[in-house]
Amino acid sequence: MVCYPPFIQLWGTALRHGLKAEFSVDSLVLKWFLVGGVLAVAGASASTRAHESTDLEHRFAHVVRYLADDRMAGRGMGSPEIDLVAEYLVGQFHQKGLAVRYQPFSYVQHSEQGSANHAVFANDAKQSRIDWKVDVDFRPLAIGGAGAIDTPLVFVGYGITAPELDYDDYAGVDVQGKTVIVLRHEPQQHDPYSEFDGLNLSKHAPFMRKIKNAIDHGAAAVVFCTDLHETQEMRRRYEMRIDALNDKLLQEQNNFNAQSAPTPSQTKIHGQRMDSMLDRESRLKAMALAVNSHLLPFDQAGQAVSEPFLPVMVATRDALEQLFTAAGRGSLAELEVSIDDDLQPRSFELSGWRMVANVDITRQEVTAMNVVATIEAEGPHADEAIVIGAHFDHLGRGGDTAFKGQIHNGADDNASGVAMMLELARHYASQPEPPPRRLVFVAFTGEERGLMGSRFYVDHPAVPLENTVAMFNFDMVGRLSDNRLIMSGTDTAKEFSQLVRDVNNYHSFDLQCVPGGLGPSDHASFYTRGVPVLHFFTGLHNDYHRPSDDVHLVDIAGMRRIYGYASELIDQVLYAPERPQYQQTDGPSRP
């Protein structure tokens, strides 16, 4: 079907309704002149749109090329190059007319276990004493703080407070100023019907969640212990490796026996192979027997973002079994089985016992910087704000990855997201009237090290979080594949689920909507503080966190389409008469 310009459609309608038409030469000339003018305007408009699209793609490409250039050395935390990128971002925001500033914060670049770690448990009334040896019975964890401990002891099960499940390990016990003993993970891990997300670990399982819960309840220190389910899984994995090795031993022996007259050289090689495999089998059997003596590595739980509030340690199950027996509390394993059976906490204080210990950790702290830019608002909602964010750090030269030493340019992760954020800043700064709500653009650093920048921001926001109506996060938006766009956080506001679909009617993405607001990107820091979030993501790929994530693979045209969709979504929230209604949802936000 041929589509005519509006002027021609109206003219034809007039004729169909019997309106008089003048067909003089002059009138025809005038009409064709007018029609030609309309066609010329339509053609010029199409030409302008094409030119604007080209300019937009050029701006995207410029930002991605700058951030993902080898000269930026992968934008690793603590590097001179990441400071250059921060300066570049300040300049970009300033050129667009935004008020811009650095937001510096300190973080721990490196931690080492010190030499003055010790732990003693004493019960003066019973004249009992238990000494723990560092790296044998216990070990400090880098995620925790340092300092002296002299406190009573409380066992708090899994250290979980989950009101939505009517489960609280801290109910009925006072842990103020005391050391809490906490099992890793969560109850009923073996049960696919467990209320704790079945066989998957729920939001209550991570170390940091449990540490924060201990802090919230006033604890002075945390001692973690590997749970029974995990030790059983460790033993099972060792036994599977032993079985596989036994199969290889049998095959090796059968192959040797099949030789009618093996040479001395073949016999020697066979003997060496058998000895090597038998040695490995012996070591695996020893490790399987010693799972209750297993200690997590010093940095297994992660590095502290900054100087933490309280010391954190890990102890072996054997060491804690000895302590519980001395305290007359029976078996740790029996306590876990009881909790699993009825999902009721079994928390208690180890009456009369105190922990006297010292945690020695040396840390190297450095300064990092978010970049924060704002567009002020006018109107009745001018005290409210929308945050638009993207992280600009990456892996530098690979850190401890398999590609250590190679520059990781991070073109998709996350030069693409930074380019998107800067273009949105340019767009809103160029509008003739101030927006009805303040716009806060935040270039986060430290995302790859555990959302450090966004965690700092939500503690020190440019606009109070209670006045922050939404956060839009762009992380890896440069590899649009099969037209699929992943939108996370679609249930974090009552309005979002329908909104993202309605706006998509004009953009026709194959949307994958993920309801949850949690996940390994900066929006999670806002969601956990009660801010509705939407996260734009084009998906993982084989170049993720590899040196091959480079500029030539970024889909600039796809970014242009995502930009059009994102700007319309932001407009819907920005100009809405009411702010989005926050909803809590437990689902993850990255599939």
Domain boundaries, the chain: 1-12+24-41, 70-110+364-574, 116-226+294-359, 231-292
Backbone angles phi, psi at 552, to 5 degrees: -65, -15
What class is the 116-226+294-359 domain? Answer: alpha beta
DSSP H or E stretch at residue 512: strand 510-514
Q: What local confidence, expressed as pLDDT, does residue 365 receive? A: 85
| Cα distance between residue 88 and residue 67, in whole Å | 9
Asked if residue 500 lies in contact with residue 487, where contact means CB atoms within 8 angstroms, the answer is yes
pLDDT of the chain, 591 residues: tens digit per residue: 333 333 333 333 333 333 333 333 344 333 433 444 444 444 555 666 666 788 999 999 999 999 999 999 999 999 999 999 999 999 999 999 999 999 999 988 888 999 999 999 999 888 899 999 999 999 999 999 999 999 999 999 999 999 999 999 999 999 999 999 999 999 999 889 888 888 888 889 999 899 999 999 999 999 999 999 999 999 999 999 999 999 999 999 999 999 989 999 999 999 999 999 999 999 999 999 988 899 999 998 887 765 557 999 999 999 999 999 999 998 999 999 999 999 999 999 999 999 999 999 998 888 999 999 999 999 999 999 999 999 999 999 987 677 889 999 999 999 999 999 999 999 999 999 999 999 999 999 999 988 999 999 999 999 999 999 999 999 999 999 999 999 999 999 999 999 999 999 999 999 999 999 988 999 999 999 999 999 999 999 999 999 999 999 999 999 999 999 999 999 999 999 999 999 998 644 444
Q: Which pair of tokens denotes residue 29?
A: 């000339």
Question: What does the DSSP 8-state code read for residue 39?
Answer: H
Q: What local confidence, expressed as pLDDT, does residue 307 receive? A: 53
Mapped onto helix, strand or coil, the DSSP state of residue 33 is: helix
| Cα distance between residue 133 and residue 295, in whole Å | 12
CA atoms within 13 A on the CB side of 285: 9
- Which parts of 343-475 fold into alpha helices (H)? 417-429, 452-459
Question: What does the DSSP 8-state code read for residue 145?
Answer: B
539: alpha, beta or left, given left = phi > 0 and alpha = psi -120 to 50? left
From the number of C-beta atoms within 10 Å of its C-beta (0-12, 13-18, 19+), residue 376 rates as: exposed
Residue 574 contacts by C-beta under 8 Å, 6 or more apart in sequence? 386, 435, 436, 437, 439
Q: What local confidence, expressed as pLDDT, does residue 101 receive? A: 98
Q: Please spell the DSSP secondary structure of 525-579, one letter per residue.
A: HHHTTT--EEEEE----TTTTSTT--GGG--HHHHHHHHHHHHHHHHHHHT-SS-
| Cα distance between residue 244 and residue 241, in whole Å | 5
Mapped onto helix, strand or coil, the DSSP state of residue 91 is: helix
Q: Please provide the CATH number assigned to the domain covering 70-110+364-574.
A: 3.40.630.10
| Cα distance between residue 417 and residue 389, in whole Å | 8
Q: What local confidence, expressed as pLDDT, does residue 302 receive? A: 82
Q: What local confidence, expressed as pLDDT, does residue 48 receive? A: 62
Closest alpha carbon to 180 in 234, 223, 238, 130: 223
Question: What does the DSSP 8-state code read for residue 493?
Answer: B
| Cα distance between residue 362 and residue 359, in whole Å | 10
- Is the pTM above the cut of 0.85? no
From the number of C-beta atoms within 10 Å of its C-beta (0-12, 13-18, 19+), residue 268 rates as: exposed
Q: What local confidence, expressed as pLDDT, does residue 277 receive? A: 94
Residue 129 contacts by C-beta under 8 Å, 6 or more apart in sequence? 120, 121, 122, 123
Tell me the Cα Rg of the chain.
Answer: 31
| Helix 317-326, helix 332-342: angle, nearest 10 | 90
The number of beta carbons lying within 10 Å of the beta carbon of residue 355 is: 24
Cα distances (angstroms) measured from residue 221 to each of 125, 177, 326, 545: 23, 8, 21, 35
Closest alpha carbon to 107 in 391, 369, 414, 487: 369
Q: What local confidence, expressed as pLDDT, does residue 109 receive? A: 82
